[in-house]
A and B are shown apart, each in its own frame.
Chain A
Amino acid sequence: NAGVTQTPKFQVLKTGQSMTLQCAQDMNHEYMSWYRQDPGMGLRLIHYSVGAGITDQGEVPNGYNVSRSTTEDFPLRLLSAAPSQTSVYFCASSYSYDHNEQFFGPGTRLTVL
């Protein structure tokens, strides 16, 4: 089991560029989520998915798109990067039933110049 994997680990973008952060899990988890971590603010939910074909917005969705075509993958797209999107991004996954924890990927550090 590789668990939750994220690529790339680091990325530098220029303002206005687009890119996709990749996330994959091999645990057959129904739920997948994207968070961003900023200093002094903890982790904030961007988007989440309760299963293939179903996504919903979290607390800070603006500027980000997601889709879930398979159970395993949940990519996060930045359509036009802005300096305010400089952050560390975490992907997480979990089973749907009550007592389960979320498993986190190693994170992607993104810098937008």
Chain B
Amino acid sequence: AQTVTQSQPEMSVQEAETVTLSCTYDTSESDYYLFWYKQPPSRQMILVIRQEAYKQQNATENRFSVNFQKAAKSFSLKISDSQLGDAAMYFCAYRSASNTGKLIFGQGTTLQVKP
């Protein structure tokens, strides 16, 4: 069975600085997808970034980028130029390529952004 682990329950960053959230996963599959979701206090789940396991290039979306290490089964999220609106719970998630209906989530990391 696949598992996803986020070992940092809480992180804080100064506004305009850079922060990295960690995520590790375990799987025996070779074809899969990894996601970072943001959950602000409104509770809405918002997709931040997606990585296909078959792609060696790390995904980027504006200020958000990932460091995908397939052999180490590591998938960290880097937020550059942090903004107050980035404060939220962040979830790392895994999905097998064969089933888009089953996401496996990590425990979440609460990010605080200090002005």
Contacts and interface: CB of A to CB of B under 8 A. Distances in A.
Max chain A Cβ within 10 angstroms of own Cβ: one of B93, B97, B99? B99
Contact of A58 (B43, B44, B102): B102
B43 A45 contact: no
B68 to A, nearest CB: 15
Interface stretch (A20-28, A75-83, A89-97): A89-97
Contacts of B4: 42
Given A40-B107, A43-B91, A101-B50, A90 B100 contact: no
Interface residues of A, number: 29
B45 interface: yes
Most B C-beta atoms less than 10 A away, residue of A33, A98, A100? A98
Contact of A31 (B50, B100, B106): B100
Interface string B34-65: 01000000111101001010000000000000
A49 B101 contact: yes
A42 B45 CA distance: 12
B107 A41 contact: yes
A95 B100 contact: yes
A48 B102 contact: yes
Interface in A40-66: 40-45, 48-50, 58
Interface of A: 31-33, 35, 40-45, 48-50, 58, 88, 90, 92, 94-102, 104, 106-107
Q: Which 3 A-B pairs have the closest CB atoms?
A: A31-B101, A42-B105, A104-B45
22 contacts: A31-B99, A32-B101, A35-B105, A40-B9, A42-B6, A42-B106, A45-B102, A48-B102, A50-B99, A88-B43, A94-B100, A96-B100, A97-B100, A98-B97, A98-B100, A99-B52, A101-B35, A101-B47, A101-B50, A104-B44, A106-B43, A107-B44
